[in-house]
Structure 1
Amino acid sequence: MKTWGLLLGVLLAVAALLLVAGQLGVFAGKPPQDLGVRDGRLKPPSPTPNSVSSQAGDHADHPQRSEASIAPLSYTGDARAAVGRLAALLETTPGCVLVKREPAYLYAQCRTRWLKFTDDVEFSLDEAGSVIHVRSASRLGRKDFGVNRARVEALRARFVQAQRP
């Protein structure tokens, strides 16, 4: 019985240390310096399974991971208004901070609640295709347990709802 109590105490101490470390920003990582649109494309998805991109198949020199592919956000009506709606959604998403807002490009940083892992989320307007391309990637680790995909899909649902009259 004494061993279980000691083990439980150690586990609680480790959990508390992780929580404090997260709150202090230890797990935030550094922002990538190569974000943005180049040659009409966002940065390729990570080679590890912790990112998604609607342009995953557009990078011939990048190792293809089918799980990295995600559909872009479709819109109807005015392109600039669609980007504005998306920016407003990002600004009201808990844990997300809109870092850069341009007429055809958005960049946000989204942090997890407890450990403050930071993901970089980018959006690029493609007026010809009536879509907004997206890339969402974790800064640290190999896996994200589907967090980036879930974030994009939740934003998509809110985006579609926001464009309805």
Structure 2
Amino acid sequence: MKYLLILLAVVLLAAIGLLALSFISARVPDGLGVTNGGLADCPDRDNCVASEASVPGKRVPPIPATGTEGEVMDRLAEAVQRLGGEVAERRGGYLRAVFTSRLWRFRDDLECLYRPGKGVIEVRSAARVGYSDLGVNRRRVEDLRTFFTSP
């Protein structure tokens, strides 16, 4: 009986901790958006990938794109919605989307910046809390690439 109560207490504390992280992740982090002509670099955590990341292990290729700003951003917004994201901000060639995990309601931010002169969309996908995301943001960017480039 004693061990059962200890186990129950540990599970309860873990659940409370995860719920607290979920509430913390509801706040939009500082530093999002276009600064000095680009997206922010990834922090020193394993829960972020970006096409312009300074650390090679966090780098992903930008998404190839051609067309007018409106056409590209419309296709991008549609791809985000197909992936289950919600477009939170869209200004010119910049789009920010929020993805929320089903179970614990953790939020991740996906940012895209269309560079028509280069024919690419720069991307950045990062979790708001925690250290590791077990590759979720990297897979999200690759899925976005697939949805965006498929007819």
TM range (shorter): 0.7 to 0.9
- Unmatched segments (≥5 aa) in structure 1: 58-64
CA distance in structure 2 between the partners assigned to 1:141 and 1:51 by the alignment? 11
Task: Provide the residue aligned with 1:152 in structure 2.
Answer: 141
Partner of 2:66: 76
Residue in 2 that maps onto 1:115: 104
TM-score norm. by structure 1 comes to 0.78
For 2:145 and 2:10, how far apart are their aligned partners in 1?
Answer: 38
Residue in 2 aligned with 1:60? none
8 Å CA contact 2:96–2:112 kept in 1: the answer is: yes
Gaps spanning 5+ residues in structure 2: where?
none
8 Å contact 1:138–1:148 — kept in the other structure? yes
Amino acid at match of 1:56: A
CA apart distance, 1:55: 0.8
% identical aligned pairs: 33
Question: 1:48-87 alignment to 2 at 5 Å?
Answer: 48-57=45-54, 65-87=55-77
Q: Is the Cα contact below 8 Å between 1:29 and 1:140 reproduced in 2?
A: no
What is the CA-CA distance between 1:32 and the residue it aligns to?
1.6
Corresponding residue of 1:44: 41
- Partner Cα separation in structure 2 for residue 66 and residue 29 of structure 1: 29
Return closer, same or farther for 1:34/1:17 CA change in 2, 3 Å cut-off.
closer
| C-alpha distance in structure 2 between counterparts of 1:33 and 1:48, whole Å | 16
Question: Once structures 1 and 2 are overlaid, which stretch shifts more, 143-152 or 5-14?
Answer: 5-14
Report the TM-score when normalising by structure 2: 0.84
Structure 1 runs (4+) deviating above 6 angstroms are none
